[in-house]
Amino acid sequence: MTKVIVSNQKHPLDTYLRTDRLPHIWCPGCGIGAVLHAFLRALLDSGVDLKKVALVSGIGCTGRVAGYVRLDSFHTTHGRALPFATGLKIANPELKLVVFSGDGDLIAIGGNHFIHAARRNIDMTVICVNNFNYGMTGGQLGPTTPLTGRTTTTMRGNIEEPFNIPYLAAAAGAVYIARWTTAHIHSLEHSIGEALAKKGFSLVEAISPCPTYYGRMNKQPTGLDQIRYFRYNSIVRHGIDPRLVGIEANGQIVVGKFVDIERPYIPGATGSGNGRTT
Amino acid sequence: MTEKPKNEIKLIIERCKGCRFCVEFCPQHILYQSDEVNSKGYRIVDVADISKCDQCNTCSMVCPEFAINVVSIEAKPVKDGEVVCLSQDT
Ligand code: SF4
Ligand code: SF4
Ligand code: SF4
């Protein structure tokens, strides 16, 4: 039948990407690029002035995002994306702050910053790409590796209880928390849009394949195997208690919008203070 | 059968890494991985029957490589409020 393939074309999002650096370094079947795609579309749809957006990343595979976007971006030291972003926001409350980083960077190395940024309710959007391990350094065990999940440092299976990121964020005080996988790309885009519009510390957890390490170690050797697992083993539960959304190795993944509340945030509407209007 | 296609699938061949996410998620099942390889050795995707494409944009959204996108041949915006820089495609 009719076949229309045109090569050497530009992508509609090329205007917002540093195309001289593409194709990017992420492995075939890695989902980080898809999360970035969803984020860029949500950002453009949100109508935010792109000159007032600052994107901050830490270290790791996801940390490379800062180097691919044609926005003001900041590639910071390991685990410190949140304090850099907090500083930017406090110094210039006009900015729309987005922190785009991985689970290792945000929850392990930067775990302390994560809980305190959520506690203070700093007005920023955090996109946490969770691939269940440290991809860039060789697939080691991370604090989000599910129980019994195999990694290059836990060949017989993980014996540590992992963090449940939405529960951690909710306990620390985040005002918006959603989780999707790269198999729910339209919902992911929608949630990132909602998070961008939210005042206060908003978190979107994006579960992504890492076929090179986590998938290969856990009988899902390609990105396609992992994304099929996400697609057929996820269940949407909006508003469920985040306590109940922990992930087991190759088990069911609960996705949806879990938390959407209001709380005084920093910096407030006047550019300082705590966001209380009285 | 010989209906004129309304859409075009644009693939930036050198960006495709052959992950087949677009093949998996296309609701019309019209994409497939061909035997053609790009300069990096990845098997690129191709379209079987473009006339069935309903421009849902899912292939573009799931593609981690910014490699594939769909445009209307009449060069109309896909839907209200959607950011499609058609002028880029000249
Ligand atoms: S190591 Fe894993 S997370 Fe890193 S680019 Fe490769 S697949 Fe993606
Ligand atoms: S736009 Fe939708 S129907 Fe058309 S090829 Fe892409 S995924 Fe398939
Ligand atoms: S999703 Fe993108 S990179 Fe993967 S096969 Fe399709 S066009 Fe190629």
Complex-level ipTM? 0.86
A32-43: average pLDDT: 95
Is the model's pLDDT at A270 over the cut of 80?
Answer: no
Report the pLDDT value the prediction gives residue B2, as an integer from 0 to 100.
52
Domains and CATH numbers, chain A: 31-260 (3.40.50.970)
Closest atom of ligand 1 to A31 CA is: 8
Nearest CA in chain B to A223: B19
Alpha-carbon dihedral A28, A32, A38, A39, rounded to 10 degrees: -150
Domains and CATH numbers, chain B: 9-71 (3.30.70.20)
Summarised one tens digit per residue, pLDDT across range B24-76 is 999 999 999 999 998 999 999 999 888 889 889 999 999 999 999 888 876 54
**What is the B67 CA–ligand 1 centroid distance (Å)?**
18
Would you state the structure tokens that stand for residue B1, as one six-digit string?
A: 């059968």
Contact (CB, 8 A) for A98 and A55: yes
**Distance from C-alpha of A229 to C-alpha of A235, rounded to nearest angstrom:** 12
Give the burial string for A47-77 (b: 16+ CB within 10 Å, else e). eeeeeebbbbbbbbbbbbbbebbebebbbbe
A39 and chain B in contact, CB less than 8 A: no
Contact (CB, 8 A) for A3 and B50: yes
Report the pLDDT value the prediction gives residue B83, as an integer from 0 to 100.
37
- Which range among A144-148, A274-278, B10-14 has the greatest average pLDDT? A144-148
Report the pLDDT value the prediction gives residue B74, as an integer from 0 to 100.
66
Is the Cβ pair B12, A7 closer than 8 Å?
A: yes
Report the pLDDT value the prediction gives residue B73, as an integer from 0 to 100.
76
Is the model's pLDDT at A254 over the cut of 70?
Answer: yes
Report the pLDDT value the prediction gives residue A277, as an integer from 0 to 100.
45
Task: Please state, for a pLDDT cut of 70, what percent of chain A lies above it.
Answer: 93
**Distance from C-alpha of A85 to C-alpha of A130, rounded to nearest angstrom:** 20
Out of A38, A44, A222, the one facing B83 most closely (by C-beta) is: A44
Nearest CA in chain A to B65: A33
Q: Which of A4, A22, A180, A210 best probes binding to B when mutated, by most B CB atoms within 10 angstroms?
A: A4
Report the pLDDT value the prediction gives residue B51, as an integer from 0 to 100.
87
Report the pLDDT value the prediction gives residue B84, as an integer from 0 to 100.
37
Tell me the Cα Rg of chain B. 13
A215 and chain B in contact, CB less than 8 A: no
Summarised one tens digit per residue, pLDDT across range A2-17 is 445 555 568 888 889 9
Would you state the structure tokens that stand for residue A206, as one six-digit string?
A: 């994006």
Contacts across the A-B interface (CB distance below 8 Å): 129
Closest atom of ligand 1 to A131 CA is: 3
Report the pLDDT value the prediction gives residue A269, as an integer from 0 to 100.
59
Q: How is residue B42 annotated by DSSP?
A: P
**Distance from C-alpha of A56 to C-alpha of A37, rounded to nearest angstrom:** 16
**Distance from C-alpha of B59 to C-alpha of B40, rounded to nearest angstrom:** 21
Residue A178's SS3 state is strand
Chain A residues touching B13 at Cβ < 8 A: 7-8
Is the model's pLDDT at A261 over the cut of 70?
Answer: yes
**What is the B40 CA–ligand 1 centroid distance (Å)?**
18
Is the model's pLDDT at A143 over the cut of 70?
Answer: yes
Out of B49, B67, B83, the one facing A41 most closely (by C-beta) is: B83
Average pLDDT over chain A reads 91
**What is the A139 CA–ligand 2 centroid distance (Å)?**
34
Q: How open is the CA angle A257-A139-A253, to the nearest 5 degrees? A: 25
Is the model's pLDDT at B88 over the cut of 50?
Answer: no
Is the Cβ pair A37, B15 closer than 8 Å?
A: no
pTM: 0.90
Give the burial string for A157-185 (b: 16+ CB within 10 Å, else e). ebeeebbbbbbbbbebbbbbbbbbbbbbb
Summarised one tens digit per residue, pLDDT across range A164-216 is 999 999 999 999 999 999 999 999 999 999 999 999 999 999 999 999 999 99
Is the Cβ pair B85, A41 closer than 8 Å?
A: no
| Residues flanking ligand 3, CB < 6 Å | B 11, 16-22, 45, 62-63, 65, 67-68
Out of B13, B24, B49, the one facing A7 most closely (by C-beta) is: B13
Is the model's pLDDT at A26 over the cut of 60?
Answer: yes
Summarised one tens digit per residue, pLDDT across range A54-111 is 999 999 999 999 999 999 999 999 999 999 999 999 999 999 999 999 999 999 999 9
